[in-house]
Structure 1
Amino acid sequence: MAAPNAEWVLMYRGGLTRSRIAALTRAPPSTVGYHLAMARAADPGLQTAHENAASTRARVSVQGVARMRQLVAMVQETGRYPSRTSPATDERSLAAWLERRRHDATAGTLAPAYRDGLAVLPDWQRPPRPVADEVRWQDRFAALVRYRAAGHDWPRHKTVPSGEEHDLGLWLHSQRQKAHRGDLHPAKAQALDKLLPGWRAGRQRGRKPRNGSGNSD
Protein backbone atom coordinates (compact mmCIF):
# COMPACT_ATOMS: atom_id res chain seq x y z
CA MET A 1 0.00 0.00 0.00
CA ALA A 2 1.39 3.38 -1.04
CA ALA A 3 1.94 5.75 1.86
CA PRO A 4 0.36 7.96 2.90
CA ASN A 5 -3.05 6.47 2.16
CA ALA A 6 -5.06 9.28 0.52
CA GLU A 7 -8.40 8.13 1.91
CA TRP A 8 -7.10 7.96 5.48
CA VAL A 9 -5.54 11.41 5.17
CA LEU A 10 -8.84 12.78 3.87
CA MET A 11 -10.70 11.30 6.82
CA TYR A 12 -8.10 12.63 9.27
CA ARG A 13 -8.35 16.09 7.74
CA GLY A 14 -12.09 15.85 8.28
CA GLY A 15 -11.63 15.43 12.03
CA LEU A 16 -11.60 11.66 12.51
CA THR A 17 -9.09 10.23 14.97
CA ARG A 18 -6.58 7.53 14.20
CA SER A 19 -8.58 4.94 16.15
CA ARG A 20 -11.83 5.91 14.41
CA ILE A 21 -10.22 5.63 10.98
CA ALA A 22 -8.79 2.25 11.92
CA ALA A 23 -12.20 1.04 13.09
CA LEU A 24 -13.98 2.24 9.96
CA THR A 25 -11.43 0.81 7.54
CA ARG A 26 -10.58 -2.29 9.61
CA ALA A 27 -6.89 -1.46 9.46
CA PRO A 28 -4.40 -1.80 12.34
CA PRO A 29 -4.19 1.48 14.32
CA SER A 30 -0.40 1.35 14.11
CA THR A 31 -0.56 1.22 10.31
CA VAL A 32 -2.99 4.14 10.19
CA GLY A 33 -0.74 6.07 12.57
CA TYR A 34 2.28 5.47 10.35
CA HIS A 35 0.47 6.80 7.29
CA LEU A 36 -0.83 9.84 9.14
CA ALA A 37 2.63 10.63 10.50
CA MET A 38 3.99 10.66 6.96
CA ALA A 39 1.12 12.88 5.82
CA ARG A 40 1.71 15.38 8.65
CA ALA A 41 5.40 15.53 7.79
CA ALA A 42 4.57 16.30 4.16
CA ASP A 43 1.79 18.78 5.00
CA PRO A 44 2.45 20.97 8.07
CA GLY A 45 -1.09 22.32 7.93
CA LEU A 46 -2.72 18.90 8.19
CA GLN A 47 -2.70 18.77 11.99
CA THR A 48 -4.32 22.20 12.28
CA ALA A 49 -6.97 21.24 9.74
CA HIS A 50 -7.67 18.06 11.70
CA GLU A 51 -8.03 19.91 14.99
CA ASN A 52 -10.28 22.57 13.49
CA ALA A 53 -12.52 19.95 11.94
CA ALA A 54 -12.64 17.94 15.16
CA SER A 55 -13.55 21.03 17.19
CA THR A 56 -16.60 21.68 15.01
CA ARG A 57 -17.48 17.98 15.12
CA ALA A 58 -17.64 17.79 11.36
CA ARG A 59 -18.52 14.20 10.56
CA VAL A 60 -16.86 12.29 7.74
CA SER A 61 -17.49 8.60 7.17
CA VAL A 62 -16.10 6.02 4.82
CA GLN A 63 -19.52 5.91 3.16
CA GLY A 64 -19.51 9.70 2.82
CA VAL A 65 -16.11 9.69 1.16
CA ALA A 66 -17.32 6.97 -1.21
CA ARG A 67 -20.38 9.08 -2.05
CA MET A 68 -18.19 12.07 -2.75
CA ARG A 69 -15.98 10.08 -5.09
CA GLN A 70 -19.04 8.69 -6.85
CA LEU A 71 -20.40 12.21 -7.29
CA VAL A 72 -17.14 13.58 -8.66
CA ALA A 73 -16.86 10.68 -11.10
CA MET A 74 -20.45 11.17 -12.31
CA VAL A 75 -20.13 14.92 -12.88
CA GLN A 76 -16.79 14.59 -14.64
CA GLU A 77 -18.10 11.79 -16.85
CA THR A 78 -21.58 13.12 -17.71
CA GLY A 79 -21.22 16.88 -17.23
CA ARG A 80 -24.29 17.02 -15.00
CA TYR A 81 -25.21 16.73 -11.34
CA PRO A 82 -27.49 13.97 -10.02
CA SER A 83 -31.25 14.52 -10.05
CA ARG A 84 -33.58 13.81 -7.14
CA THR A 85 -36.28 12.78 -9.62
CA SER A 86 -34.12 10.31 -11.52
CA PRO A 87 -35.66 6.85 -12.04
CA ALA A 88 -32.38 5.39 -10.73
CA THR A 89 -32.35 4.90 -6.95
CA ASP A 90 -28.57 5.37 -6.69
CA GLU A 91 -28.73 8.71 -8.47
CA ARG A 92 -31.56 9.97 -6.26
CA SER A 93 -29.56 8.99 -3.16
CA LEU A 94 -26.51 10.77 -4.53
CA ALA A 95 -28.58 13.90 -5.21
CA ALA A 96 -29.89 13.85 -1.64
CA TRP A 97 -26.33 13.51 -0.30
CA LEU A 98 -25.19 16.47 -2.40
CA GLU A 99 -28.11 18.57 -1.19
CA ARG A 100 -27.08 17.92 2.43
CA ARG A 101 -23.50 18.94 1.68
CA ARG A 102 -24.73 22.16 0.05
CA HIS A 103 -26.77 22.86 3.16
CA ASP A 104 -23.70 22.20 5.34
CA ALA A 105 -21.63 24.56 3.20
CA THR A 106 -24.24 27.31 3.52
CA ALA A 107 -24.39 26.81 7.29
CA GLY A 108 -20.60 26.82 7.58
CA THR A 109 -20.48 23.28 8.96
CA LEU A 110 -19.16 21.42 5.92
CA ALA A 111 -16.38 19.02 6.84
CA PRO A 112 -13.03 20.15 5.38
CA ALA A 113 -12.58 16.71 3.83
CA TYR A 114 -15.75 17.21 1.81
CA ARG A 115 -14.90 20.82 1.05
CA ASP A 116 -11.50 19.88 -0.34
CA GLY A 117 -12.77 16.83 -2.20
CA LEU A 118 -15.66 18.68 -3.86
CA ALA A 119 -13.45 21.61 -4.81
CA VAL A 120 -12.54 19.81 -8.05
CA LEU A 121 -16.12 20.36 -9.28
CA PRO A 122 -16.84 23.79 -10.78
CA ASP A 123 -19.27 25.76 -8.64
CA TRP A 124 -20.63 22.59 -7.02
CA GLN A 125 -22.62 24.59 -4.48
CA ARG A 126 -24.66 26.12 -7.28
CA PRO A 127 -24.41 24.29 -10.59
CA PRO A 128 -23.65 26.50 -13.63
CA ARG A 129 -26.51 27.06 -16.04
CA PRO A 130 -25.54 24.35 -18.58
CA VAL A 131 -25.46 21.79 -15.78
CA ALA A 132 -28.72 23.06 -14.29
CA ASP A 133 -30.33 22.89 -17.75
CA GLU A 134 -29.16 19.31 -18.12
CA VAL A 135 -30.64 18.40 -14.73
CA ARG A 136 -33.98 19.93 -15.75
CA TRP A 137 -33.91 17.99 -19.03
CA GLN A 138 -33.29 14.73 -17.21
CA ASP A 139 -36.07 15.52 -14.74
CA ARG A 140 -38.58 16.17 -17.54
CA PHE A 141 -37.46 13.08 -19.42
CA ALA A 142 -37.90 10.88 -16.34
CA ALA A 143 -41.31 12.43 -15.65
CA LEU A 144 -42.48 11.70 -19.20
CA VAL A 145 -41.27 8.11 -18.96
CA ARG A 146 -43.33 7.67 -15.78
CA TYR A 147 -46.32 9.41 -17.36
CA ARG A 148 -46.33 7.05 -20.35
CA ALA A 149 -45.68 4.00 -18.17
CA ALA A 150 -48.85 4.87 -16.24
CA GLY A 151 -50.85 4.26 -19.43
CA HIS A 152 -51.38 7.83 -20.64
CA ASP A 153 -51.31 8.86 -24.28
CA TRP A 154 -48.79 11.45 -25.44
CA PRO A 155 -49.30 14.67 -23.43
CA ARG A 156 -50.83 17.75 -25.08
CA HIS A 157 -49.97 21.37 -24.38
CA LYS A 158 -52.40 23.31 -26.58
CA THR A 159 -55.72 21.83 -25.49
CA VAL A 160 -54.70 21.40 -21.85
CA PRO A 161 -54.13 24.83 -20.23
CA SER A 162 -52.17 23.75 -17.16
CA GLY A 163 -51.01 20.86 -15.03
CA GLU A 164 -48.64 17.96 -15.56
CA GLU A 165 -49.90 17.06 -19.03
CA HIS A 166 -49.50 20.65 -20.23
CA ASP A 167 -45.96 20.92 -18.86
CA LEU A 168 -44.87 17.58 -20.29
CA GLY A 169 -46.60 18.30 -23.59
CA LEU A 170 -44.79 21.62 -23.90
CA TRP A 171 -41.45 19.97 -23.14
CA LEU A 172 -42.10 17.17 -25.63
CA HIS A 173 -43.09 19.69 -28.32
CA SER A 174 -39.79 21.48 -27.73
CA GLN A 175 -37.83 18.23 -28.16
CA ARG A 176 -39.63 17.52 -31.44
CA GLN A 177 -38.80 20.99 -32.73
CA LYS A 178 -35.15 20.60 -31.79
CA ALA A 179 -35.02 17.19 -33.46
CA HIS A 180 -36.60 18.63 -36.63
CA ARG A 181 -34.00 21.41 -36.73
CA GLY A 182 -31.17 19.00 -36.00
CA ASP A 183 -30.43 20.73 -32.69
CA LEU A 184 -31.26 17.84 -30.36
CA HIS A 185 -28.18 16.18 -28.89
CA PRO A 186 -27.75 12.66 -30.35
CA ALA A 187 -27.51 11.11 -26.87
CA LYS A 188 -30.82 12.68 -25.88
CA ALA A 189 -32.49 11.60 -29.10
CA GLN A 190 -31.21 8.08 -28.50
CA ALA A 191 -32.56 8.08 -24.94
CA LEU A 192 -35.96 9.24 -26.18
CA ASP A 193 -36.01 6.62 -28.94
CA LYS A 194 -35.09 3.86 -26.50
CA LEU A 195 -37.46 4.61 -23.62
CA LEU A 196 -40.20 6.53 -25.45
CA PRO A 197 -40.59 4.94 -28.90
CA GLY A 198 -42.96 6.92 -31.08
CA TRP A 199 -42.24 10.23 -29.37
CA ARG A 200 -41.52 11.96 -32.67
CA ALA A 201 -44.95 11.19 -34.14
CA GLY A 202 -47.05 11.53 -31.01
CA ARG A 203 -50.78 10.82 -30.97
CA GLN A 204 -52.27 8.93 -33.90
CA ARG A 205 -55.77 9.68 -35.13
CA GLY A 206 -58.23 6.91 -34.49
CA ARG A 207 -55.81 4.97 -32.31
CA LYS A 208 -57.32 3.43 -29.21
CA PRO A 209 -55.94 4.96 -26.00
CA ARG A 210 -53.37 2.87 -24.14
CA ASN A 211 -55.48 2.75 -20.99
CA GLY A 212 -58.30 1.10 -22.88
CA SER A 213 -60.93 3.64 -21.80
CA GLY A 214 -63.06 5.80 -23.99
CA ASN A 215 -61.09 8.87 -22.98
CA SER A 216 -58.10 10.24 -24.84
CA ASP A 217 -55.81 9.83 -21.81
Structure 2
Amino acid sequence: MSPQSFSLHPAWDRMYSSGMTVQEIVDFTGRARSTVHRHLQLRERVNEGLRAVHDSAREARDPDWSPTRWQYRYKEVQDFCKSNGRLPAVHGDEVEHGLASWVRSQFTLHRRGALPAIRITQMDMAPGWDETPPRTALDDHWRNRLCELAVFVAETGQMPGYKKFSGEHEHVLGVWLHTQHQARAEGRLLAWRLEALDASFSGWRSRE
Protein backbone atom coordinates (compact mmCIF):
# COMPACT_ATOMS: atom_id res chain seq x y z
CA MET A 1 0.00 0.00 0.00
CA SER A 2 1.48 3.35 -1.04
CA PRO A 3 1.61 6.21 1.49
CA GLN A 4 -0.76 8.20 -0.74
CA SER A 5 -3.50 5.61 -0.32
CA PHE A 6 -3.27 5.32 3.45
CA SER A 7 -4.31 7.90 6.00
CA LEU A 8 -4.82 7.67 9.73
CA HIS A 9 -7.54 10.31 9.53
CA PRO A 10 -9.30 10.20 6.12
CA ALA A 11 -12.16 12.35 7.44
CA TRP A 12 -9.70 15.14 8.18
CA ASP A 13 -8.33 14.82 4.65
CA ARG A 14 -11.84 15.19 3.21
CA MET A 15 -12.51 18.24 5.36
CA TYR A 16 -9.24 19.83 4.29
CA SER A 17 -9.89 19.03 0.62
CA SER A 18 -13.34 20.62 0.85
CA GLY A 19 -11.85 23.93 1.99
CA MET A 20 -11.98 23.76 5.78
CA THR A 21 -9.09 25.43 7.58
CA VAL A 22 -6.95 23.68 10.17
CA GLN A 23 -8.71 25.61 12.96
CA GLU A 24 -12.16 24.66 11.65
CA ILE A 25 -11.16 21.00 11.58
CA VAL A 26 -9.86 21.34 15.15
CA ASP A 27 -13.15 22.93 16.25
CA PHE A 28 -15.25 20.17 14.72
CA THR A 29 -13.13 17.21 15.78
CA GLY A 30 -12.08 18.40 19.23
CA ARG A 31 -8.52 17.24 18.57
CA ALA A 32 -5.40 19.22 19.42
CA ARG A 33 -4.37 21.77 16.79
CA SER A 34 -0.82 20.42 16.76
CA THR A 35 -2.12 16.92 15.99
CA VAL A 36 -4.34 18.06 13.11
CA HIS A 37 -1.65 20.37 11.72
CA ARG A 38 1.03 17.67 11.85
CA HIS A 39 -1.25 15.14 10.15
CA LEU A 40 -2.10 17.52 7.29
CA GLN A 41 1.53 18.50 6.83
CA LEU A 42 2.37 14.82 6.37
CA ARG A 43 -0.50 14.33 3.93
CA GLU A 44 0.69 17.33 1.90
CA ARG A 45 4.16 15.75 1.64
CA VAL A 46 2.85 12.42 0.31
CA ASN A 47 0.09 14.00 -1.80
CA GLU A 48 1.53 17.01 -3.58
CA GLY A 49 -1.82 18.07 -4.99
CA LEU A 50 -3.63 18.22 -1.65
CA ARG A 51 -2.70 21.82 -0.83
CA ALA A 52 -3.78 23.03 -4.26
CA VAL A 53 -7.14 21.26 -3.89
CA HIS A 54 -7.61 22.83 -0.45
CA ASP A 55 -6.71 26.34 -1.65
CA SER A 56 -9.03 26.07 -4.64
CA ALA A 57 -11.94 24.81 -2.52
CA ARG A 58 -11.43 27.52 0.08
CA GLU A 59 -11.38 30.27 -2.56
CA ALA A 60 -14.63 28.89 -3.99
CA ARG A 61 -16.44 29.03 -0.67
CA ASP A 62 -19.58 31.13 -0.59
CA PRO A 63 -19.57 34.19 1.70
CA ASP A 64 -22.08 32.46 3.98
CA TRP A 65 -20.27 29.10 3.93
CA SER A 66 -21.18 27.18 7.11
CA PRO A 67 -22.34 30.25 9.07
CA THR A 68 -21.56 30.48 12.77
CA ARG A 69 -25.08 29.48 13.81
CA TRP A 70 -24.90 26.32 11.69
CA GLN A 71 -21.46 25.46 13.04
CA TYR A 72 -22.64 25.95 16.62
CA ARG A 73 -25.63 23.66 16.12
CA TYR A 74 -23.50 21.05 14.43
CA LYS A 75 -21.02 21.14 17.31
CA GLU A 76 -23.89 20.52 19.75
CA VAL A 77 -24.92 17.44 17.76
CA GLN A 78 -21.34 16.23 17.63
CA ASP A 79 -20.91 16.66 21.39
CA PHE A 80 -24.16 14.77 21.99
CA CYS A 81 -22.98 11.88 19.81
CA LYS A 82 -19.68 11.70 21.66
CA SER A 83 -21.37 11.70 25.07
CA ASN A 84 -24.18 9.27 24.23
CA GLY A 85 -22.75 7.10 21.48
CA ARG A 86 -25.75 7.79 19.23
CA LEU A 87 -27.59 10.50 17.36
CA PRO A 88 -30.15 12.62 19.25
CA ALA A 89 -33.69 11.23 19.08
CA VAL A 90 -36.99 13.03 18.65
CA HIS A 91 -38.40 11.23 21.70
CA GLY A 92 -35.75 12.63 24.06
CA ASP A 93 -36.02 15.67 26.30
CA GLU A 94 -36.58 19.16 24.92
CA VAL A 95 -32.89 19.79 24.17
CA GLU A 96 -32.38 16.41 22.51
CA HIS A 97 -35.60 16.79 20.54
CA GLY A 98 -34.35 20.14 19.20
CA LEU A 99 -31.06 18.60 18.09
CA ALA A 100 -32.86 15.67 16.46
CA SER A 101 -35.12 18.07 14.55
CA TRP A 102 -32.09 19.98 13.30
CA VAL A 103 -30.40 16.77 12.11
CA ARG A 104 -33.62 15.81 10.37
CA SER A 105 -33.71 19.18 8.59
CA GLN A 106 -30.18 18.59 7.28
CA PHE A 107 -31.28 15.15 6.06
CA THR A 108 -34.25 16.69 4.25
CA LEU A 109 -32.02 19.26 2.53
CA HIS A 110 -29.60 16.49 1.58
CA ARG A 111 -32.40 14.42 0.01
CA ARG A 112 -33.44 17.49 -2.00
CA GLY A 113 -29.88 18.06 -3.17
CA ALA A 114 -29.82 21.42 -1.38
CA LEU A 115 -27.19 20.68 1.29
CA PRO A 116 -23.72 22.02 0.33
CA ALA A 117 -21.00 19.39 -0.10
CA ILE A 118 -18.96 20.80 2.78
CA ARG A 119 -21.88 20.38 5.16
CA ILE A 120 -22.45 16.83 3.96
CA THR A 121 -18.79 16.15 4.73
CA GLN A 122 -19.19 17.57 8.22
CA MET A 123 -22.46 15.76 8.86
CA ASP A 124 -20.79 12.49 7.85
CA MET A 125 -18.90 12.75 11.15
CA ALA A 126 -22.22 11.77 12.77
CA PRO A 127 -22.78 8.19 11.50
CA GLY A 128 -26.33 7.40 10.47
CA TRP A 129 -27.50 11.01 10.15
CA ASP A 130 -28.70 10.39 6.59
CA GLU A 131 -30.62 7.21 7.33
CA THR A 132 -34.38 7.20 7.68
CA PRO A 133 -35.31 5.82 11.14
CA PRO A 134 -37.70 2.86 11.06
CA ARG A 135 -41.26 4.16 11.27
CA THR A 136 -42.37 1.23 13.38
CA ALA A 137 -39.70 1.89 16.01
CA LEU A 138 -40.77 5.51 16.35
CA ASP A 139 -44.44 4.56 16.58
CA ASP A 140 -43.76 1.90 19.21
CA HIS A 141 -41.80 4.37 21.31
CA TRP A 142 -44.64 6.89 21.01
CA ARG A 143 -47.18 4.32 22.23
CA ASN A 144 -44.91 3.44 25.17
CA ARG A 145 -44.73 7.12 26.16
CA LEU A 146 -48.53 7.36 25.98
CA CYS A 147 -48.82 4.35 28.32
CA GLU A 148 -46.30 5.90 30.74
CA LEU A 149 -48.31 9.11 30.69
CA ALA A 150 -51.52 7.21 31.46
CA VAL A 151 -49.86 5.51 34.45
CA PHE A 152 -48.49 8.82 35.72
CA VAL A 153 -51.91 10.53 35.52
CA ALA A 154 -53.60 7.56 37.21
CA GLU A 155 -51.09 7.63 40.07
CA THR A 156 -50.86 11.39 40.60
CA GLY A 157 -54.22 12.66 39.40
CA GLN A 158 -52.58 15.35 37.28
CA MET A 159 -50.77 15.91 33.99
CA PRO A 160 -46.97 16.19 34.13
CA GLY A 161 -45.30 19.58 33.91
CA TYR A 162 -42.31 20.30 31.71
CA LYS A 163 -41.26 23.53 33.47
CA LYS A 164 -42.29 22.68 37.03
CA PHE A 165 -41.81 19.02 37.90
CA SER A 166 -41.08 16.87 40.93
CA GLY A 167 -38.65 14.45 39.33
CA GLU A 168 -36.85 13.40 36.17
CA HIS A 169 -39.61 11.02 35.09
CA GLU A 170 -42.23 13.75 35.29
CA HIS A 171 -39.91 16.08 33.39
CA VAL A 172 -39.46 13.57 30.55
CA LEU A 173 -43.22 13.03 30.28
CA GLY A 174 -43.90 16.75 30.53
CA VAL A 175 -41.50 17.53 27.70
CA TRP A 176 -42.98 14.74 25.61
CA LEU A 177 -46.51 16.05 26.14
CA HIS A 178 -45.39 19.61 25.37
CA THR A 179 -43.88 18.30 22.12
CA GLN A 180 -47.25 16.79 21.20
CA HIS A 181 -48.92 20.17 21.85
CA GLN A 182 -46.44 21.88 19.56
CA ALA A 183 -46.88 19.26 16.84
CA ARG A 184 -50.67 19.61 17.01
CA ALA A 185 -50.51 23.42 16.87
CA GLU A 186 -48.24 23.25 13.82
CA GLY A 187 -50.30 20.58 12.09
CA ARG A 188 -47.52 17.97 12.38
CA LEU A 189 -49.22 15.55 14.77
CA LEU A 190 -50.30 12.37 13.00
CA ALA A 191 -54.06 11.83 13.02
CA TRP A 192 -53.92 8.49 14.85
CA ARG A 193 -51.75 10.03 17.57
CA LEU A 194 -54.14 12.93 18.01
CA GLU A 195 -57.04 10.48 18.29
CA ALA A 196 -55.15 8.38 20.84
CA LEU A 197 -54.41 11.42 23.01
CA ASP A 198 -58.00 12.68 22.78
CA ALA A 199 -59.32 9.24 23.73
CA SER A 200 -56.96 8.90 26.69
CA PHE A 201 -56.97 12.46 28.08
CA SER A 202 -59.98 14.60 27.28
CA GLY A 203 -58.43 17.79 28.66
CA TRP A 204 -54.89 17.52 27.33
CA ARG A 205 -55.42 20.09 24.56
CA SER A 206 -56.26 22.89 27.00
CA ARG A 207 -52.88 22.71 28.72
CA GLU A 208 -50.12 25.19 27.87
TM-score by length of 2: 0.46
Q: Which has the higher helix share?
A: 2
- Considering only CA atoms, is the larger Rg found in Structure 1 or Structure 2? 1
TM-score by length of 1: 0.45
